[in-house]
């Protein structure tokens, strides 16, 4: 298939016109949620900040997960990645927004992190305010640089190109740096809520959760756009099948790392570390961890074993929504028990994720509307547009 043919056919696959309406509705929700967040800050600052931290980690994690999958796709190839690449790019482009939305945490940091007012001598070389702020800037500088590089190069594939950019080279190095920075960010922003507890696998649990959220979000978006012609003609069950298999793999990885963290600490009989888990399995928290085991692993694992389910976007969407909700619950379980004076539940734990999510989605749809859903001159585009006989 010639480049000219690819170009003509690609122009027939724009972002659905409804995306403008999705953007407007998300923005309204985001603005209303932001107003609610301001009210929460005035009424119950400490409780609100804890809910805001949950929201921030979830939505920032979704942007980071999109960036991670974008790099993985450039390294591995596959039509599954081409099918969702514009979603991944648009999600990763939310990182500058999340850099700005970190400001409430930065300004009111002493309300969250006790070690900023009562230093812990053993960890002071790392857990100090100056280092914490510098690392926040460095993390986002690296993430945004990776995002800008890959998305700007990806935009070249909408036009004729004389050379193919080194996506794999940047992605290979980027994945290593990304894993390190995400791990340290999880330590800085969540694990340090309890400065006396530590886990070497903690960052990987958050990283895997971010990728899982990105897969689930991509399933939802891909299923939605395939309702409309002509995109429904070129996305085949094999793309959903591949994404479903990868989602299953990350569900298993999340469970493996989470169980490994518990097993190593418990079998090592480490009193300080065990007490961290005891806080999270007693009382109402025991029901939360049971729900995480059942709905973040057991049920998704069993359902995703079905080949028929993995090949149907319509059937995958409810599972994807469940997993995204359970990601939020998991972050809540990691975060809130660190505060001994806090309520088990607060309305701000709901308002904050809705407000931040509305702003994130509005910016996502804005970025998504800037490009067609298929890169015209990607080497895999001819195969993607002409998959007859390739579905199996």
DSSP string, 219-287: HHHHHHHTTSTTHHHH--HHHHHHHHHHHHHHHHHHHHHHHHHHHHHHHTT-HHHHHHHHHTTSTHHHH
More confident position, 146 or 157: 146
pLDDT at 11 over 60: no
Residue 331 pLDDT exceeds 90: yes
Coil, helix or strand at residue 186:
helix
pLDDT over threshold 80, residue 388: no
**Which of 211, 207, 210, 220 is closest to 320 using CA atoms?**
220
Average pLDDT, the chain: 90
Distance CA 47, CA 36 (A): 13
pLDDT of residue 208 exceeding 90, the answer is yes
pLDDT at 43 over 90: yes
Report pLDDT digits (tens) over 49-80. Answer: 999 999 999 999 999 999 999 999 999 888 88
The answer to whether residue 389 is domain-embedded is: no
Q: How many alpha carbons lie under 13 Å from residue 39 in its C-beta half-sphere?
A: 11
Segments forming the whole domain that contains residue 149: 17-375
pLDDT at res. 70: 95
Residue 383 domain-assigned?
Answer: no
Q: In the chain, pLDDT over 90 holds for what percent of residues?
A: 68
Looking at the domain assignment, is residue 203 inside a domain?
A: yes
Over residues 248-261, mean pLDDT:
95
Res 160: pLDDT: 80
Residues 6+ apart with CB under 8 A from 70: 85, 88, 89, 92, 150, 171
Asked if residue 4 has pLDDT above 50, the reply is: no
Give CA separation, 369 vs 6, 208, 219, in Å.
20, 28, 18
Please count the structural domains in the chain.
Answer: 1
- Across the range 183-202, mean pLDDT stands at 93
- Please tell me the predicted confidence (pLDDT) of residue 162: 66
Q: Hey, which of 1-10, 110-119, 263-272 has the most confident mean pLDDT?
A: 110-119
Dihedral, 300, 210, 258, 324 alpha carbons, nearest 10: -40
| Domain membership flag for residue 198 | yes
The proportion of the chain whose per-residue pLDDT surpasses 70, expressed as a percent, equals 95
Between 347 and 2, residue with greater pLDDT? 347
* Residue 89, pLDDT above cutoff 60: yes
User: What pLDDT score does 392 carry?
Assistant: 47
Is 302 inside any structural domain? yes
Mean local confidence (pLDDT), 217-241: 87
Reported as a single tens digit per residue, the pLDDT across 354-364 is: 999 999 999 99
Query: Over 50: is that where the pLDDT of 173 sits?
Result: yes
Q: Which comes out higher in pLDDT, residue 387 or 78?
A: 78
Per the model's pLDDT, the better-predicted residue between 11 and 121 turns out to be: 121
C-beta of residue 65 within 8 angstroms of C-beta of residue 214: yes
215 close to 242: Cβ distance less than 8 angstroms? no
Flag whether 227 is in a domain. yes
Residue 388 lies in a domain: no
In this prediction, residues 361-375 reach a mean pLDDT of 92
Q: Lowest-confidence range among 184-188, 278-282, 286-290, 375-379? A: 375-379
Is the pLDDT confidence value at 1 over 60? no
What is residue 9's predicted lDDT score, i.e. its pLDDT?
47
Lowest mean pLDDT of 7-21, 207-221, 372-386, name the range.
7-21
Q: State yes or no: pLDDT of 132 exceeds 80.
A: yes
The model's pLDDT over 313-326, given as tens digits with 9 standing for 90+, comes to 999 999 999 999 99
Alpha helices, H only, 77-201? 79-92, 95-101, 103-107, 129-156, 167-189
Residue at 1 is within a domain = no
- pLDDT of 247: 96
């Amino acid at each position: 298939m010639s480049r000219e043919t690819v170009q003509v056919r690609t122009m027939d696959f724009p972002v659905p016109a409804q995306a403008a309406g999705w953007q407007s509705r998300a923005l309204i929700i985001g603005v209303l949620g932001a107003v609610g967040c301001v009210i929460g800050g005035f009424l119950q600052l400490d409780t609100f900040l804890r809910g805001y931290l949950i929201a921030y980690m979830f939505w920032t994690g979704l942007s980071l997960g999109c960036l991670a999958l974008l790099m993985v796709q450039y390294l591995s190839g596959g039509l599954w990645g081409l099918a969702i690449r514009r979603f991944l790019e648009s999600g990763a482009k939310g990182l500058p927004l999340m850099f700005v939305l970190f400001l409430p945490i930065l300004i009111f940091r002493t309300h969250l992190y006790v070690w900023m007012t009562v230093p812990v001598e053993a960890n002071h070389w790392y857990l100090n305010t100056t280092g914490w702020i510098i690392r926040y800037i460095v993390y986002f500088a690296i993430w945004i640089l990776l995002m800008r590089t890959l998305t700007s190069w990806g935009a070249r594939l909408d036009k004729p190109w004389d050379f193919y950019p080194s996506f794999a080279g940047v992605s290979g190095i980027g994945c290593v740096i990304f894993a390190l920075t995400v791990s340290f960010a999880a330590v800085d922003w969540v694990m340090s809520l309890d400065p006396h507890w530590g886990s070497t696998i903690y960052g990987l649990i958050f990283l895997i959760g971010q990728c899982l959220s990105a897969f689930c979000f991509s399933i939802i978006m891909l299923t939605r756009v395939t309702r409309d012609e002509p995109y429904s003609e070129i996305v085949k069950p094999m793309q959903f099948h591949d994404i479903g298999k990868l989602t299953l793999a990350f569900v298993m990885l999340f469970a493996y790392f989470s169980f490994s963290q518990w097993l190593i600490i418990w079998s090592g009989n480490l009193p300080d570390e065990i007490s961290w888990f005891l806080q999270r399995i007693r009382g109402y928290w025991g029901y939360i961890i049971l729900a995480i085991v059942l709905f973040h692993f057991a049920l998704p694992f069993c359902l995703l074993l079905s080949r028929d389910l993995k090949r149907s976007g319509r059937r995958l969407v409810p599972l994807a929504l469940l997993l995204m909700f359970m990601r939020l619950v998991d972050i809540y379980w990691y975060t809130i028990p660190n505060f001994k004076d806090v309520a088990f539940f607060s309305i701000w734990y709901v308002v904050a994720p809705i407000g931040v999510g509305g702003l994130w989605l509005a910016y996502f749809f804005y970025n998504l509307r800037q490009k067609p859903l298929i890169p015209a001159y990607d080497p895999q585009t001819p195969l993607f547009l002409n998959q007859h006989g390739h579905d199996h």
